[in-house]
Amino acid sequence: MTKKILVTAAILGVIAIVLGAFGAHTLKSLISVEAQKTFETGVRYQMYHALLLMFVGGTSFLTEKTKSIIFYLVVFGVLFFSGSIYGLATNNLFMFNFKTIGFITPIGGLLFVLAWAVFNCRFFNN
């Protein structure tokens, strides 16, 4: 599980960097300033959670079960939160209306909160 967590963390980090550059350069002329800020929020949260996974994967203070729980909470949190944010920020560029799935954004946020709560409870109670 540790290798899976670290590889996923690295992939999420690389994607965050690529999307950040894409948002700062290519999207700049295609979406509003407000949408750019929204897109940046998705990138920032994705990177924060890639770093969390790097730490989780590299620590020996957490059990494999706890690492697994945090891993899935973060992965689905990134997909729901950051993924929906990317869609909502670039909504005018696609034929699909991402506002119809905007309800998953707070679900992703909740998954992030739960991941941090599990980390906090398990890490500091060892």
Tokens 């993924």 belong to: 83
Token pair of 111, please?
């998954």
Mean pLDDT for the stretch of residues 13-31: 89
Mean pLDDT of the chain: 90
Q: Residue 38: which residues within 8 A CB-CB, separation 6 or more?
A: 85, 88, 89
Identify the domain containing residue 48 by its residue range.
2-123
In this predicted structure, the answer to whether residue 45 has a pLDDT above a threshold of 70 is yes
Q: Look at residue 122 in the predicted model and tell me its pLDDT.
A: 74
Task: Tell me the pLDDT tens digit for each residue of 51-105.
Answer: 999 999 998 888 899 999 999 999 999 999 999 999 888 887 877 777 788 789 9
Please write down the long-range contacts of 3-9, taking CB distance under 8 Å and 24 or more positions apart: 3/57, 4/71, 5/53, 5/56, 5/57, 5/67, 5/71, 6/53, 6/54, 6/57, 6/58, 8/53, 8/71, 8/75, 9/50, 9/51, 9/53, 9/54, 9/57
Greater model confidence, 117 or 101 = 117
Q: Look at residue 72 in the predicted model and tell me its pLDDT.
A: 97
In this predicted structure, the answer to whether residue 125 has a pLDDT above a threshold of 70 is no
* Banded pLDDT at 126 (limits 50, 70, 90): low
pTM for the complete prediction?
0.88
Q: Look at residue 108 in the predicted model and tell me its pLDDT.
A: 95
Count of the separate structural domains present in the chain: 1
